[in-house]
Amino acid sequence: MNELKHLGKGTRAVHAGVEPDPSTGAIMTPIFQTSTYVQEAVGVHKGWEYSRSHNPTRAALESAFAELENGKYGLAFASGLAAIDAVLKTLKPGDEVIAGQDLYGGTARLFRTNHAPMGIVFHFVDTQKPELVESAITDKTKLVWLESPTNPLMQITDIAAVAKITKPRGIWLAVDNTFASPMLQRPLEHGADIVMHSVTKYLGGHSDVVMGALITEDEQIDAQLRTIQNNCGAIAQPFDSFLVLRGLKTLHLRIERHCQNGRKIAHWLQSHPKIGKVYWPGFETHPGHEVAKKQMDDFGGMIAFEIHGNNLEQAKKLVASTQLFALAESLGGVESLIEHPAAMTHASVPAEIRAQLGISDGFIRISVGVEDADDLIADLEQAISIAVQ
Ligand code: P1T
């Protein structure tokens, strides 16, 4: 199946990247669990030489990523952070990066503790205000890195407005699209140069794989990233690639249900007397709502909220008291998860920065799964009543 662009998102999710296996007709891409490929003579081979460079199962997945993000080239990495690391490795000492102020804690830690000491200069700015991106640009700026929606504050950045600033200056715009997934948002369509995913989350969808992805439509960018992937070796493995190919086939169905459940639970939380602020871009009162409506197809299943009084002990008790929502890091799987960012996913963000951003002690993040919404609401209700008297 070569040309899927005219088809619907669901059809593309089912068919992206896969062709019947030419040797057997197998409808599912086989797991090519091989490190190398036999050559007939030196340099005479079938296009496959060594599995760090290419593997047919990974290649099928990489073309599925490109298809779903409306790009031309996809790359699958050993983790989301390995994918981010590969983008940063295109830079040289002295180059500058403008990064969003609210990022997954591990991304900010990678920038601060690994890339900054190598001479890359980071400016963390509030990308919700594109004019702040513009004013942080110098003649050394090479990359803008942002998430939308952000992890965990659910902030929204107008991707097209930032691209308008970066494109004419030749600065790359990379968007971490993990929270939205390509079913809800395709940043390349809004002018981004690189899309990144923690595939571990919605794309895999079943909490059984750690993987990352980069997608671009620019041949030169792809060539640089591909060389780094091959030189540094943080590749996705064949069995994991197979699992994600399988997961992608239901991405549209899962996301539809995540969105339905997310909408119901966000509204329920907002009307709960023991719950304070609820962070979800589907609310008309969310500061990024209009932009989200413009660049996203729906608002997703990630929600954050504060309990009244922002009490640490109550928040810890709440996240430990749910029965369906599992207390765990990660997100985007079929099962619902709950966590406490200040103590878990964003513990590596310095406390003063967390405080500035508003990741308070009573701040809780949930990844709403695809279970029945009423069961999830009943679970949250009993946990809230145990934790907040
Ligand atoms: O965990 P890994 O596959 O390496 O992906 C890192 C990553 C990158 N970007 C975003 C937006 C992410 O959410 C993550 C991983 N996040 C979690 C593990 C979490 O619980 O937030």
Strand order in the sheet with 363-367: 275-279, 302-307, 363-367, 337-339, 326-327
Residues 6+ apart with CB under 8 A from 89: 228, 232
Q: How many CB atoms lie within 10 A of CB 137?
A: 16
The secondary structure of 34-62 as a DSSP string is: -SB---SBTTBSSS--BTTT--HHHHHHH
Query: Which of ligand 1's atoms lies nearest the C-alpha of 367?
Result: 20
| pLDDT in the model for residue 37 | 97
How far does residue 149's CA lie from ligand 1's centre (Å)? 13
Give the per-residue pLDDT at 2: 58
Asked about 85 being catalytic, the answer comes back as no
- Radius of gyration in angstroms for the set of CA atoms belonging to the chain, rounded to a whole number: 21
Residue-level pLDDT, tens digit, the chain, 389 residues = 557 889 999 999 999 999 999 999 999 999 999 999 999 999 999 999 999 999 999 999 999 999 999 999 999 999 999 999 999 999 999 999 999 999 999 999 999 999 999 999 999 999 999 999 999 999 999 999 999 999 999 999 999 999 999 999 999 999 999 999 999 999 999 999 999 999 999 999 999 999 999 999 999 999 999 999 999 999 999 999 999 999 999 999 999 999 999 999 999 999 999 999 999 999 999 999 999 999 999 999 999 999 988 899 999 999 999 999 999 999 999 999 999 999 999 999 899 999 999 999 999 999 999 999 999 999 999 999 999 98
Ligand 1: atom nearest CA of 151 is 11
Out of 84, 114, 151, give the residue to mutate to test ligand 1, the one with the largest number of ligand atoms within 8 Å of its CB: 151
Q: Pick the catalytic residue: 9, 52, 72, 142?
A: 52
- Could you confirm whether 240 is annotated as catalytic? no
Q: How far is the CA of 140 from the centre of ligand 1 (A)?
A: 28
Q: How many CB atoms lie within 10 A of CB 366?
A: 25
* 238 alpha-carbon distance from chain centroid: 21
Q: Cα 132 to the chain's mean position, in Å?
A: 23
Q: How far is the CA of 198 from the centre of ligand 1 (A)?
A: 6
Give exposure, 223-249, as e/b (b: 16+ Cβ within 10 Å): eebbebbeeeebbbbbebbbbbbebbb
- Give, using CA atoms, the residue closest to atom 18 of ligand 1: 330
What is d(CA 287, CA 57) in angstroms, rounded to the nearest whole number?
Answer: 42
Give me the CATH code for the 251-387 domain, please: 3.90.1150.10
pLDDT tens column, 6-16? 999 999 999 99
- Six-digit token string for 10: 């669901």
Any ligand 1 atom below 6 A from CB of 345: yes
Paired sense of beta strands 73-77 and 212-216, if any: antiparallel
- Residue 352, judged by CB atoms within 10 A of its CB (0-12, 13-18, 19+), counts as exposed
Length of the chain: 389
**Main-chain phi, psi angles of 236, to 5 degrees:** -75, 145
Contacts of 98 (CB under 8 A, 6+ apart): 122, 123, 125, 127, 133, 136, 137, 141, 143, 144, 145
Q: Where are the domains of the chain?
A: 9-248, 251-387
Q: Is the CB of 212 under 6 A from ligand 1?
A: yes
Pocket test residue of 88, 101, 104, 179 for ligand 1, highest count of atoms within 8 A of CB: 104
* 150 touches ligand 1 (CB under 6 Å): no
Alpha helices in the chain (DSSP H): 9-15, 56-68, 80-88, 105-110, 130-136, 159-166, 219-232, 238-248, 251-270, 289-295, 312-321, 351-357, 373-387
The residue to mutate among 127, 197, 200, having the most atoms of ligand 1 within 8 angstroms of its beta carbon, is: 200
**9-248 and 251-387 agree in CATH topology:** no
* Cα torsion angle, 330, 335, 74, 53, sign: positive
Q: Is 81 in the pocket of ligand 1 (CB under 6 A)?
A: yes
Answer whether 196's CB lies under 8 Å from 84's CB. yes
Note the Cα 379 to chain centre separation in Å: 27
106 CB under 6 A from ligand 1? yes
For residue range 50-100, list pLDDT tens digits in order. Answer: 999 999 999 999 999 999 999 999 999 999 999 999 999 999 999 999 999
Name the closest-CA residue to atom 20, ligand 1: 330
Lay out the sheet containing 172-176: strands in order across.
73-77, 212-216, 194-198, 172-176, 141-147, 96-100, 121-125
Query: Is 72 noted as a catalytic residue in this protein?
Result: no
CATH of segment(s) 9-248: 3.40.640.10
Token couple for 379: 């679970």
Is 279 labeled as catalytic in the residue annotation? no
Question: How many whole angstroms from 39 Cα to the centroid of ligand 1?
Answer: 39
Ligand 1: residue whose CA is nearest its atom 3: 80
Task: Answer yes or no: are the C-beta atoms of 244 and 211 closer than 8 Å.
Answer: yes
CB 272 within 8 A of CB 310: no
Rounded to the nearest angstrom, the distance between the alpha carbon of 328 and the centre of ligand 1 is: 12
Ligand 1 centroid to residue 197 C-alpha, Å: 8
Angle between helices 373-387 and 312-321 (to 10 degrees): 140
Say which amino acid occupies 349.
V
Distance of alpha carbon 387 from alpha carbon 389, whole angstroms? 6
Question: Does the C-beta of 241 come closer than 6 Å to ligand 1?
Answer: no
